[in-house]
Structure 1
Amino acid sequence: MLLLQEIFQHMDNQLFAFSLTVFTGLIAMLNPLTSIPAFTGVLSGYTAEQKRYIIKKACIVALVIIIAFVLLGKFIFSIFGITIPAFKITGGILIFKIGFDMLQSRTAGTKKMPADIELDDSIAISPLAIPLLSGPGTIVTTMDFISNTGYIHLFIVTVIVTFVLYINYLALKYGDFILSKLGRNVISVLDKLMGLILAIMGTGMVIAGIKLLF
């Protein structure tokens, strides 16, 4: 009985650590504060009601895309013959590059916004949902969490993705207010901090991939 208790406690600790890692990684990649300037710039020609509608639509589309990759991740791996070590090494390099660009104050590929955007709600899908919210970095990060794991981990990742995107929705909804209170300098500092976290995560993924390879 005591042995079973210890096993369940150990599992709980493992799941908590896993959940914390997933949340930290996704909040760094889907950083709600550093997305505010991009969204504010793109939606500058809209009314408050239109902004709320487009932000909500963008977050829902991003959630559907990310969840699709979470649910179909293992199938995608098998159908294309992708090995876990290869995915971790390649994904780690990509995430490191995004984090390094953030540290260097360069706009990462997932944050790059087209110069000419028509004023219609289709921008909720592109470029806001794709690639700003659910870009390659976000998808790779999410799929790494569910690679070589069980159904309970898949459920945890799904819940955390939904929660983080809801945080994004709230932050973007009140983006003008947050930007006026914090200022661009504070947001820039936070962006660099998130970039450091992503660079460390990317390095960790590469190391994990190399260990699995050998």
Structure 2
Amino acid sequence: MSVDLPFVTKVFAALFAIMNPIANVPVFLSLTEGASDAVRRRVAVTAAIGTTIGCLVSILGGQAVLDAFGLSVDDFRLAGGLIVLTIALSMLQGSSSPTHGRSPKEKEDAVEAESVAIYPLTIPLLVGPGTIATLIVFGQTARAQFKWLELAIGVGAFLALLSAALLSAPWLGRHLSATATAITRRLMGMILAAVAMEMIVASLRALFPGLSH
């Protein structure tokens, strides 16, 4: 059985653009400022596990959520596309989108580094509305076109990269310049904008068949 590599690449690129491990390394370092390497590793592992669970719930439980609210996948694809487009535009402008989570402020002394692993690192910085919407749409596509293997490969490859980036954040922080981070954020914004437009156009064609002609 052949693997649809373009679909794998699309899944990987979309998740990379939304959760952008490179751009989130400085966020991770800020949230865990003053913590030991051992604590940072525990935070990274917890965040990786939480992100994996969030992705699985979004993919496997997406249809149940849509059915509970009486929505179709095209309704959610349109809404998700608009959310993703908002994130992409904010990335192109070099800022964080409020729909994907705000950049964290300096942590208060009373807050321990371990407490930030789930909130705000996992939710909403990594598994935000844009991530959830994108994964629900990809899950529906995989179900309709029997592309579960491709979806698993794309998501699994990205989660492995994300975990590696979080675990190596202290080292990356010493070598990644602010300029490199800014360039990467804008490049990912362009890719994410293209993915968002595809979602929006596909949903509009399904909701308004006349547009296809």
Q: Same fold (TM over 0.5)?
A: yes
Q: Which residue of 1 aligns with 2:154?
A: 160
Return the offset for 1:120: 4.2
Please report how far the alpha carbon of residue 146 of structure 1 lies from its aligned counterpart in structure 2 after TM superposition.
Answer: 1.5
Aligned twin of 1:130 = 123
SS of the equivalent of 1:145 reads helix
**1:181-200 counterparts in 2 under 5 A?**
181-200=175-194
Cross-structure match for 1:112? 102
Measured after TM superposition, the shift of residue 135 of structure 1 is 1.0
Tell me, yes or no, if the aligned pair for 1:113 and 1:127 is still in contact at 8 Å.
Answer: no
Q: TM-score, normalised by structure 1?
A: 0.88
Superposed, which structure 2 residues align to 1:14-163 within 5 Å?
A: 15-109=4-98, 110-115=100-105, 116-117=107-108, 118-150=111-143, 152-163=146-157
- Residue 139 of structure 1 and its aligned partner are, at CA, apart by 1.0
Deviation at 1:37, TM superposition (A): 0.7
Structure 1 residues 49, 193: CA separation in 2 closer, same or farther (over 3 Å shift)?
same
Alpha-carbon offset, residue 179 of structure 1:
2.8
Q: Distance in 1 between matches of 2:124 and 2:97?
A: 11
Tell me the number of residue pairs that the alignment of Structure 1 and Structure 2 aligns. Answer: 203
Stretches of structure 2 that go unaligned for 5 or more consecutive residues are 209-213
Measure how far apart 1:91 and its partner are.
0.7
TM-score by length of 2: 0.88
* Corresponding residue of 1:5: none
- Conserved in 2, the CA contact under 8 Å of 1:61 and 1:129? yes
Larger mean CA deviation between 194-203 and 92-101 belongs to 194-203
Q: Secondary structure at the match of 2:61?
A: helix
**1:26 Cα deviation from its structure 2 partner:** 1.1
- 1:155 deviation in Å? 4.2
CA distance in 1, matches of 2:148, 2:86: 26
Structure 1: stretches of 5+ with no match in the other structure: 1-7
Instruction: Report deviation, 1:163.
Output: 2.5
Report runs of 4+ in structure 1 exceeding 3 Å deviation: none
Report the RMSD for the aligned CA atoms in angstroms.
1.8
Say if 1:99 and 1:199, in contact at 8 Å, map to a contact too.
yes
Give the Cα separation in 2 of the matches to 1:114 and 1:105. 16
Letter in 2 for 1:16: L
